[in-house]
C-alpha cells in the first residue's frame, strides 16, 4: 500500500534526492520538482497529501509558490512544510504567515524530516476542531464556554486577551505561530495587541499558570507554540 504522497520541491539535486531516498525509505510516496513552476503544475494536476517546499528557488520562489498554492481552492488545504536555510528566521516567519503549516531548517536529519511530516499529517485529522470543547493538557484545563482555566485544579484568573491567546495556542498543540498570527487570533479582545504585547501577555500567562506555564514554548526568532 502506498503511503502519504509528498511533493518535494527543491532545486538542489543532492538535497532533492536525499529527501526522496529518506522519505521513500520511511514509506512515503514521493514526487519531486526542481522548480516552483513544476511544483504548481504537478500540485494543480494532482494535489498531494503534503508539499515540502524549499523557499529559495530559481524562477518563482517558494514564497510565491506557497501564496499561489494557498490561493488555489484545489490546493489550499494541502499542508505546506517549508525548507529554510539555517539562520533565516525571517523566512520561516514569512512562510508561516503565507499559510505554511510548519518548517524545517536545513541541514536537517532524515529522522526529523519524516517525524515532522508525520506530525503535520496527523494534525490535519479532524476531531479536535470543536471550539467549545474543554481542553486538557499537562495539568491544565481550559473551558471555553465558561471562560475558565484551571492549573492542577486551581482556578486561574486570566484577562480576556490572555484567555483567547491561551485557548488559541492550546487548540493547536505542536503548531508554531508567529506573533502576527497570534495578534490576528486575539484581535477583537479587550487589548491593543502589538508584537511586544504578545510577549508581555505570554510572560503574564506563564506566571499565572505556574508549573503549567512551560506548556507555552518560545520558538526563538519565530514565535510561540503549545507543547504537543
Ligand atoms: Ca534552494
What domains can you pick out in the chain, each with its CATH number? 5-127 (3.40.50.2300), 130-226 (1.10.10.10)
From the CA of 137, how far away is ligand 1's center (Å)?
Answer: 38
From the CA of 20, how far away is ligand 1's center (Å)?
Answer: 15
Q: What is the pTM of this model?
A: 0.82
From the CA of 157, how far away is ligand 1's center (Å)?
Answer: 48
Three-state SS at 185: helix
First-to-last CA distance in the chain? 29
User: Vertex 88, ends 87 and 94: CA angle to 5°?
Assistant: 150
Nearby residues for ligand 1 (ion, Cβ within 5 Å): 11, 54, 56
Cα–Cα dist 69/39, whole Å = 9
- For the stretch 126-147, pLDDT in tens is 555 577 889 999 899 999 999 9
Confidence check: pLDDT of 36 > 90: yes
From 27, 223, 228, select the one nearest 123 (Cα to Cα). Answer: 228
Confidence check: pLDDT of 90 > 70: yes
Three-state SS at 120: helix
Rg (CA), the chain: 19
Cα–Cα dist 172/127, whole Å = 12
With DSSP H G I counted as helix, E B as strand and the rest as coil, what are the percentages for the chain, rounded to 5? 40, 20, 35
From 19, 60, 63, select the one nearest 41 (Cα to Cα). Answer: 60
From the CA of 17, how far away is ligand 1's center (Å)?
Answer: 13
Q: Residue 210 gets which letter from DSSP?
A: G
- How far apart, in Å, are the Cα atoms of 95 and each of 26, 38, 103, 166, 224? 26, 19, 8, 23, 15
From the CA of 127, how far away is ligand 1's center (Å)?
Answer: 36
pLDDT band at residue 191, thresholds of 50, 70 and 90? low
- For the stretch 145-189, pLDDT in tens is 999 999 999 999 998 889 999 999 999 899 999 998 888 887 766
**For residues 103 and 92, is the Cβ–Cβ distance under 8 A?**
yes
Amino acid at each position: 500500500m502506498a503511503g502519504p504522497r509528498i511533493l518535494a520541491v527543491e532545486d538542489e539535486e543532492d538535497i532533492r534526492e536525499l529527501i526522496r531516498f529518506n522519505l521513500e525509505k520511511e514509506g512515503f510516496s514521493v514526487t519531486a520538482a526542481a522548480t516552483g513552476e513544476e511544483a504548481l503544475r504537478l500540485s494543480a494536476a494532482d494535489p498531494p497529501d503534503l508539499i515540502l517546499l524549499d523557499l529559495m528557488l530559481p524562477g518563482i520562489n517558494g514564497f510565491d509558490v506557497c501564496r499561489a498554492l494557498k490561493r488555489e481552492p484545489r490546493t489550499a488545504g494541502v499542508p505546506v512544510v517549508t525548507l529554510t536555510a539555517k539562520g533565516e528566521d525571517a523566512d520561516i516567519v514569512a512562510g508561516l504567515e503565507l499559510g505554511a503549516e510548519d518548517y524545517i531548517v536545513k541541514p536537517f536529519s532524515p529522522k526529523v524530516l519524516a517525524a515532522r511530516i508525520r506530525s503535520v499529517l496527523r494534525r490535519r485529522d479532524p476531531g479536535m476542531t470543536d471550539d467549545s470543547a474543554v481542553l486538557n493538557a499537562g495539568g491544565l484545563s481550559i473551558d471555553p464556554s465558561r471562560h475558565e482555566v484551571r492549573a492542577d485544579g486551581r482556578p486561574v484568573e486570566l484577562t480576556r486577551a490572555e484567555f483567547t491567546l491561551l485557548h488559541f495556542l492550546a487548540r493547536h498543540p505542536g503548531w508554531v505561530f508567529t506573533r502576527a498570527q497570534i495578534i490576528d487570533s486575539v484581535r477583537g479582545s479587550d487589548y491593543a495587541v502589538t508584537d511586544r504585547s504578545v510577549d508581555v501577555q505570554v510572560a503574564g500567562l506563564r506566571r499565572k499558570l505556574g508549573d503549567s506555564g512551560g506548556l507555552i514554548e518560545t520558538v526563538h526568532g519565530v514565535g510561540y507554540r503549545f507543547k504537543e
